[in-house]
Structure 1
Amino acid sequence: MTEQLHYSDKALKGILRRAKSVAVVGVSPNETRPSYFVARYLKLKGYRVIPVNPGHAGKTLLGMTVRASLADIPPEDGEVHMVDIFRRSDQVEPIVDEALEHLSGRGLQTVWMQIGVQNDAAAAKAEAAGLKVVMNRCPKIEYQRLFGELRWGGFNTGVISSKL
């Protein structure tokens, strides 16, 4: 199992504050999938979300055209500050290579690997290029935790109920 890596709250908060656009690699149009839920949440929080999934390229998701790959994000889509990866750990390195090749010079600041995703070689490449790297974490969960949206019970559903 992937170990829980330590990142300071200050560092994570800084990453989430600086990023204004996120390419979500592996996002699903299925509303019950975690990747969709995270992308939708980030959009609701004001991030520009660029969906990336070769199986759904050309479709519209969350108001944006789904791109087949990071290389297919056209300049008119603007800067891409963060790449959030919903792929298996062994698939991360080529994604990071593609991000470094096609998104450097377009505002890229961070490579974020979702919960359960860790690739040390890919992280080393990204860090060598001057990027921040977060592994085995979820930006939605971290945003909620760091910006006061998680409540005493651990979550904020907005629903009050006395049912057990």
Structure 2
Amino acid sequence: MLRDAHPAILQSVVHAKSIHILGAGLNPDRPAHQAIHDLDDKGWRLVPVHPRDAGGSILGRPIRPRIQDGESPEVVVFFLAPERAKQAVMELIVRYERAAFPLLWFQPGSEHEGVLEMLNEAGIVHIVDDCIVRFVQRHHATSASPQEKGPWYLQVGSADQSGCSVWTVEHADRTHAPEHLEWCGDLDDLANSNHTVPQYIRSLKQPKESLVALAERLAHA
């Protein structure tokens, strides 16, 4: 466990490209949703994760049902009840080796004593007793590698259950989660996710065609 005074915390946050925020859904009254607003202009690629609200978006940032396979999270923030935080931590432990393990940030109220004891014994870096938003504000922190926010991508199954899928490029917020979500993500996800949808999209790329151009072409096909 590290505390605010430890310089490694600030360095880990500042040099992270992405921050995954577990529990960030469409309800604007929830602290996790507000955290996206509070951190939006600081340069990080913010990744809201909320299974029920997946396919919606917050400030143009698509809400994923889970951390994408093929992605290497750097900072994972838990705005979850302790039992749900425990489940999320155990999933991360299964999915990622120690060398690639993210910094875990437990928002006040998300701590699970058994998990914290396990993390301490394993020497896995994690933060408690602090809020990620207050930490960033207190240190006037911004990303060392600012990420531009572009369009995001969505594939849903047809409402008539015909087996067809609809691929779209989204430039605005979706305030409701789609009923038949198949996949959603940003350009980073499209490039790196091991999900079958982005893998298939990448397979359609023509020589010298960018992923952005490919996504637009398929959306207008």
Q: Over aligned residues, Cα RMSD in angstroms? A: 2.8
Match of 2:65 in 1: 68
Q: 1:126 to 1:62 in 2, by over 3 A?
A: farther
- Following superposition of structure 1 onto structure 2, how do residues 84-103 of structure 1 map, counting pairs within 5 Å? 84-103=77-96
1:128, 1:32 → 2: CA distance?
Answer: 36
Amino acid at match of 1:114: Q
Match among 56, 59, 63 for residue 56 of structure 2 = 59
1:128, 1:112 → 2: CA distance?
Answer: 17
Question: Could you list the per-position Cα deviations for residues 77-110 of structure 1 after superposition, in whole angstroms to 9, with x for gaps in the alignment?
Answer: x431011001112322111011222344894420
Report which of the two structures shows the higher radius of gyration computed on alpha carbons: 2
Structure 1 length-normalised TM:
0.70
Amino acid at match of 1:51: P
- Following superposition of structure 1 onto structure 2, how do residues 139-150 of structure 1 map, counting pairs within 5 Å? 139-147=132-140
Match among 11, 14, 17 for residue 11 of structure 2 = 14
Q: Any gaps of 5 or more consecutive residues in structure 1? A: 150-164
1:38, 1:143 → 2: CA distance?
Answer: 11
Partner-residue secondary structure (3-state), 1:15: helix
Q: Any gaps of 5 or more consecutive residues in structure 2? A: 143-221
2:113, 2:4 → 1: CA distance?
Answer: 15
Match among 119, 128, 133 for residue 135 of structure 1 = 128
Structure 1 runs (4+) deviating above 3 angstroms are 103-108, 124-131
Match of 2:200 in 1: none
Once the two structures are aligned, what percentage of the paired residues are identical?
Answer: 23
**What is the total number of aligned residue pairs between the two structures?**
141
Structure 2 length-normalised TM:
0.54
1:19, 1:131 → 2: CA distance?
Answer: 17
